[in-house]
Amino acid sequence: MDLHLTNKLAVVTGASKGIGLAVVRTLLDEGAVVAAVSRRPSPELTELTGTRLFHVAADLSTVDGPARAIEEAVQHLGGLDIVINNAGGPPPGATLPRFSFEQLTDADWRSMIDFNLFGVVRAVRAALPHLLSRGGGAIVNVSSTHAHVPSAVNVDYGAAKAGVNNLTQALSEEYGPRGIRVNTVSPGPVRTPWWTEPGGAAEVLAAATGTDRETVLNTSAAEMMQLTTGRLIDPQEIADQIVLLASPRSGSTTGSDVIVDAGLVKTV
């Protein structure tokens, strides 16, 4: 299916690994021109060389990082049609999962909300004039099933992502009549470096449950979270949904939250 993305101008944040890297690859495959935003380029991102890919170095956890990233991206691209706000998760210096509200200080809350909610607010604020100048476009914000399933585990992350969902709905109402569609994708547990890298979630859970990292990744994480599919989600499965929402093929989809969760959320 042709997604009609040839020569569309896209910004992807959190683009160096995991879901963001998969989104960059997919957009390039569909013919888009992409500005990939991350603190630094990963080897995997660097391998995606070509005239339709630019890297923008930025720290989106800072106050001015998102706006500077958008402006530099637009300088490279010459305009803007698509914004994928994927950057999120643990802010610099934080390790997840955290198992109790009582573990969290005010500083923990501020850094989590700054990165996961205000990062989106600031990026959208900077992107809107460029999208409007081209007659509209698409914004896809990456949220989480934590926004739907409140838990003592990572409570600050869930609260921040619930804010992203609310923001997305509000933006879709205000800017839909002006040609900008805004949607979220809420992934469940995705097998990204957040899980797999040293000191990541798999090792933290392994230590907490008395097992090993590979068992967590291959079986016990899915069992603990009662994933219907029996496995963690592949980043490409999330990227496919994000890119479809960014495509003109989804022209009547706005204000929606698409859950891609391996069956984690079991409510109607």
Residue 97: asked if its preceding bond is cis (omega within 30°), the reply is yes
**Is 175 annotated in the active site?**
no
For every residue of 219-263, DSSP letters joined together read: IIHHHHTT-TTSSPBPHHHHHHHHHHHHSGGGTT--S-EEEE-TT
Alpha helix positions (H), the chain:
18-29, 43-46, 65-77, 106-113, 119-133, 155-175, 193-196, 201-209, 213-215, 221-224, 235-246
Q: Which of 115, 157, 194, 195 is catalytic?
A: 157
For residues 68, 73, 74 and 75, what is the CA-based torsion angle, rounded to 10 degrees?
Answer: 90
Instruction: Give CA–CA dist 139/160, Å, rounded.
Output: 18
In contact, 45 and 68? CB cutoff 8 Å: no
Residue for token digits 């890298």?
197
The three-state secondary structure class of 4 is coil
Q: Which residues are catalytic?
A: 157
